[in-house]
Amino acid sequence: MNLQLIASYVCIILAFVPAIVFHEVAHGFMAWKLGDPTAKAMGRLSVNPLKHIDTFGTVILPLFLMVMNLPVFGYAKPVLYNPLYFKDKRKGDFFVGIAGPLANFVMAFIGALVMNLLWPLASTFFASDIGVYFYFVFLPEFILINLYLMFFNLIPIP
């Protein structure tokens, strides 16, 4: 395995972890704002990735897909919530459900904004290998992973 491939995998992992963590925190935060204390009581409103890691979905599956040179997919432990705490169960379910994809959209937008803002600084920014990997590998992966998670989570599966 060459160094360039390892650097690409590191960029993918560094893009994947915040995408799934903020996605799950957004679900829990919305449930908490709507009156459900479950996620907060379980400590799932934390941005600490260790609280959200699912051994298979966050570690084994993505690493296997990377090694097999397939599109990376994974998931975190889902944040539990109790819709009985909501004033309007139907609206509460909707808002909790949409919070994760909305968080992914916001992160993808921020990644695209950073790419756009860094372009005028290209001559100095790309003078280092880290700058090149950040701009051409990490940011595009960050944007794509967040968009993939957003669209996948918008698929209406009962």
- Whether residue 158 lies inside any domain: the answer is no
- Whether residue 144 lies inside any domain: the answer is yes
Taking the C-alpha atoms of residue 104 and residue 24, their distance in angstroms, rounded to an integer, is: 10
Residue 109, pLDDT score:
98
Residue 152, pLDDT score:
92
Cα–Cα nearest to 73, from 20, 6, 8, 11? 20
- Whether residue 129 lies inside any domain: the answer is yes
Residue 36, pLDDT score:
95
Q: What is the pLDDT along the chain (158 residues), one digit of tens a residue?
A: 677 777 778 888 888 899 999 999 999 999 999 999 999 999 999 999 999 999 999 889 988 988 888 887 788 999 999 999 999 999 999 999 999 999 999 999 999 999 888 877 766 666 666 667 777 778 898 999 999 999 999 998 77
- Whether residue 122 lies inside any domain: the answer is yes
- Whether residue 121 lies inside any domain: the answer is yes
Residue 22, pLDDT score:
96
Q: Is 141 a catalytic residue?
A: no
Cα–Cα nearest to 12, from 54, 50, 95, 69? 69
The total domain count for the chain is 1
Residue 12's domain spans which residues? 3-153
- Whether residue 131 lies inside any domain: the answer is yes
**Which candidate in 15, 16, 17, 24 is catalytic?**
24
- Whether residue 73 lies inside any domain: the answer is yes
Place of tokens 């560094």: 14
CA 16 to chain centre: 6
Taking the C-alpha atoms of residue 132 and residue 122, their distance in angstroms, rounded to an integer, is: 9
